[in-house]
Chain A
Amino acid sequence: MNQRRERILDEDAASQWIESGMTIAIGQPTPMALVRSLIRRGVKNLTVVDAGFSLDLLVAARCVRKVVSYYAGGGFGNPVTPAFRRAAESREIEVWECEEGILCAGLQAAAQALPFLPWRGGVGTSIPEVNRDLKIFKDPISGETLIAVPPIKPDVAILHAAHADAYGNVQHIGGPGWIDLFMYRAADRTIVQVEKIISNEEVRADGWKTTIPAADAIVRAPFGAHPFYSRGYYLQDNDHLREYNDAANSAGRGESKSLDAYLDRYCREPVALGDYLERVGIKRLLALHEY
């Protein structure tokens, strides 16, 4: 029979696409169900394009070798997220120093199969000095000083969105993430976890709403961005993030017990998203609905 292939995978099958040593890009809203599955599986030596607490969690769980990040800001009184700071200062991870414009130029270069794209932001700074992959050059048209940004090409991009149909057509609520579309275009393959699977008819009713066409895999993951927000569904769980932050801060001071306990309780022991959500608790989850 002439039947179109569906792209829905379960969390575990999708996670298997990511192997130790790969480069992955992590979008925002944050695909935490998939992030936790990487920790559960003990994936190692990843190069990670990400920012903030999801990056910090992967670093804390020792899944990361190299970080491509413009921002590891802390919140909750930290100027820098705790595990990232400890791992960068102790050289456990390598940092590919960049900033938002440079990162997007690199992802765009990968998407367009170009050897580099030029960028001006960063000229005069230390960024091209400490990141030797970035080259200062004189542009051949008018002789301006610019930075050549090489392609940043993830093996897999993992993203979280509101809705998708079975064929990988993704529709966001309230906009397509922050760098997500750039990550999707640059990556070899993209996995999108969603709050809800919708019908193909609903997608075709307004194809302009589709933000990511033909994602390679769709994972059904209600509340799958917790403890982060998911637009149109729930807000960030600051109490939970604070719990992680405190644990990671103590680990930075050499007491790793509470961080180990956090990782066991929320990342390693739950075998799937449902088990994790059970540990978070229905009351907490329901309290996070927008307004």
Chain B
Amino acid sequence: MDASYTIPELMTVFLARELNDGETLRVGVASPVPEAAVRLAHLTHGPNMELVFLGARMNVAHLDTIPMPAYGWDRRVVRWAESYSDTGHRFDRVKDWSKHVFFIGGVQVDAFGNTNLIGIGSDYQRLKFRGPGSVGTPTLSTHVGRYYIVLNSHSPRVLVERCDYVSAYGWGTGGADARTKLGLPGGGPRLCVTPLAVMDFAEDSRRMRLKSVHPGVSIDTVRRETGFELIIPASVPETAPPSTEELQALRTRVDLDGRLRR
């Protein structure tokens, strides 16, 4: 075990382990942890994965390294794509997306895994913070087999009881049928991964539940930094840290410029 890992590295390795060979992994812009995680999984245990960065679909399992993009969306990174689809045609085969996996962020995430990229403020006409907009997350979250909520901060400001606006519907107001009753075919959010902990969703209520805390983080800290009442099971394990091999693969084959260490 290598104690020198950073939290973004731990989150990346955790997510990479979640991904299975044969799956199609869809990643949006400007989310370094998922961008690194899909590359790492592809190189270490996913030779039949397909990586889709926006519309560029690739399998580059034969490469020694898959570097991170230089900026938001550096199109040189996807030079090895085997096919492209434009935004308008990206959703043409959503019927087949049960094996697709997606990663999502938000300016707010609520107790039922709904996410908000629209803005903050009770009056939509007078937002206190105007968010970037929903991108394709409403459609992606509707159709993919499962998705992961990945946050770069864990605070009561971000993790709220109820989002001011919902741009991607997770489990609505809760309940096992929250998605099926709206006819949403996808499997919904599977986990929420933050710098402090990993959360899942209780099977019956679909309320967020603490699954593991990262090494050195107390349950009390997670409770204090969460803006809603988290379900806390009787025993909460530690998130398994990266192994020496995983960390070495991440640093020498994916995160070549060390941005997850900064």
Contact = CB atoms under 8 A, between A and B. Distances in A.
A256 B162 CA distance: 37
A121 B165 contact: no
B129 interface: yes
A72 B132 contact: yes
B91 A101 contact: yes
Given A99-B133, A99-B136, A121-B91, A73 B29 contact: yes
Given A79-B107, A181-B86, A121 B126 contact: no
Contact of B134 (A80, A99, A104): A99
A121 B131 contact: no
B140 interface: yes
B118 interface: yes
Given A123-B142, A125-B168, A126-B165, A99 B88 contact: no
A73 B130 contact: no
B212 interface: no
Contacts of B199: none
A74 interface: yes
Given A70-B136, A99-B133, A180-B86, A144 B76 contact: no
A255 interface: no
Given A71-B133, A79-B107, A229-B75, A104 B87 contact: yes
Interface string B55-66: 100000000000
A104 B133 CA distance: 15
Contacts of A125: 134, 138, 165-169
Interface of A: 51, 69-75, 79-81, 84-85, 88-89, 91, 95, 97-102, 104, 107-108, 119-127, 130, 144-145, 174-182, 229, 231, 235-236, 238, 290-291
Nearest to A84: B130
A164 B134 CA distance: 34
A175 B86 CA distance: 8
Interface in B20-76: 29-30, 54-55, 71-72, 74-76
B142 A120 contact: yes
Contacts of A130: 118, 124, 165
Contact of A70 (B71, B129, B135): B135
A176 B86 contact: yes
Contact of A72 (B75, B128, B133, B138): B133
Interface string B123-155: 011111111111111111111000000000000
Contacts of B172: 124
Given A91-B126, A95-B130, 20 more contacts: A71-B133, A71-B135, A73-B29, A79-B107, A79-B132, A80-B132, A89-B129, A99-B134, A99-B139, A101-B91, A101-B139, A104-B87, A122-B138, A124-B169, A126-B118, A126-B166, A126-B167, A144-B183, A181-B88, A236-B74
